[in-house]
């Protein structure tokens, strides 16, 4: 089964929510998909955006990567749930609790990517107008890489490594972005961005392998 195109099913848009708040699903998440969720601290000190991630379907989430906040940059984290139970639009929701902070979040689902977490990396860059973090060499050729970035000024990110935008969060023009790139080789994947106003950023990447095929069926999804 080929890796699909990620579909955003919930986000906080511009307004941060309280620790433990349930963010409503605005699209159906199908049974057996991979859910990838990015969380961002809305303050520049205190605990990092890690905690207990839950949803209305009772799915279990694992932490892929975390970049803790400092006094000058927001923190961000990526959680995931492989081969998930279906999450219903309208009545469904996702939440993180135990961060001790207000947070922003965005979550998407993708099919064909239940082969497991491969690489994850993070950086908290120096004050600049560009930043990059790479996955390192991938285990298999067919993977999907998710990237998340946050900075504490309002500016517009420009992709310089081919990633596709899933969504932006924060006060326009933006301060937070969630992106993806589907790749077909094991070459290390850079997640690189530039912007206008000199600022530090918190930047993370996590890659997931294509679902394993056995006798024509995606074993991890059926």
Residues 64-76: tens digit of each pLDDT: 998 877 667 778 8
Q: Residue 211's pLDDT band (boundaries 50, 70, 90)?
A: very high
CB 179 within 8 A of CB 166: yes
pLDDT of 41 higher than 90: no
Q: Which among 98, 11, 107 has a CA at the least distance from the CA of 52?
A: 98
pLDDT, the chain, mean: 88
Query: Alpha carbon of 80 to those of 16, 29, 59, 110, 176: distances in Å?
Result: 21, 13, 10, 11, 19
pLDDT given at position 40: 85
Angstrom distance (rounded) from CA 195 to CA 173: 11
pLDDT tens-digit readout, 4-23: 999 999 998 766 788 888 99
pTM of full prediction above 0.85? yes
pLDDT of 49 higher than 70: no
pLDDT tens-digit readout, 132-182: 999 999 999 999 999 999 887 888 899 999 999 999 887 665 688 999 999
pLDDT given at position 174: 64
pLDDT given at position 212: 84
Q: Which among 200, 201, 221 has a CA at the least distance from the CA of 81?
A: 221
pLDDT of 120 higher than 80: yes
For the chain, give the longest Cα–Cα distance: 52
Q: Is the peptide bond before 173 cis (omega within 30 degrees of 0)?
A: yes
pLDDT given at position 205: 98
Angstrom distance (rounded) from CA 98 to CA 17: 13
Mean pLDDT value of segment 117-140: 92
Angstrom distance (rounded) from CA 165 to CA 185: 21
pLDDT given at position 215: 52
pLDDT given at position 156: 87
pLDDT given at position 222: 39
């Amino acid at each position: 089964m080929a890796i699909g195109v990620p579909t955003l099913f919930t986000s906080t848009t511009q307004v941060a929510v309280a620790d433990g708040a349930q963010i409503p699903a605005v699209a159906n998440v199908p049974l057996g998909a991979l859910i990838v969720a990015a969380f961002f601290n809305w303050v520049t000190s205190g605990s990092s955006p890690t905690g207990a991630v839950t949803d209305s379907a009772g799915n279990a989430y694992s932490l892929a990567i975390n970049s803790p906040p400092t006094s000058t940059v927001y923190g961000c984290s990526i959680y995931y749930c492989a081969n998930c139970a279906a999450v219903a639009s309208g009545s469904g929701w996702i939440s993180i609790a135990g961060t001790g902070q207000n947070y922003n979040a965005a979550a998407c689902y993708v099919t064909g990517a239940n082969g497991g977490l491969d690489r994850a990396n993070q950086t908290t860059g120096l004050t600049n107008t560009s930043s990059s973090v790479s996955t390192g060499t991938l285990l298999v050729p067919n993977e999907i890489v998710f990237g998340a970035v946050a900075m504490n000024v309002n500016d517009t990110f420009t992709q310089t490594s081919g990633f596709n935008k899933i969504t932006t969060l924060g006060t326009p023009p933006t301060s937070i972005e969630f992106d993806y790139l589907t790749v077909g080789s094991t070459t290390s994947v850079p997640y690189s961005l530039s912007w206008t106003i000199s600022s530090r950023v918190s930047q993370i990447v996590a890659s997931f392998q294509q679902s394993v095929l056995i006798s024509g069926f995606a074993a991890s999804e059926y």
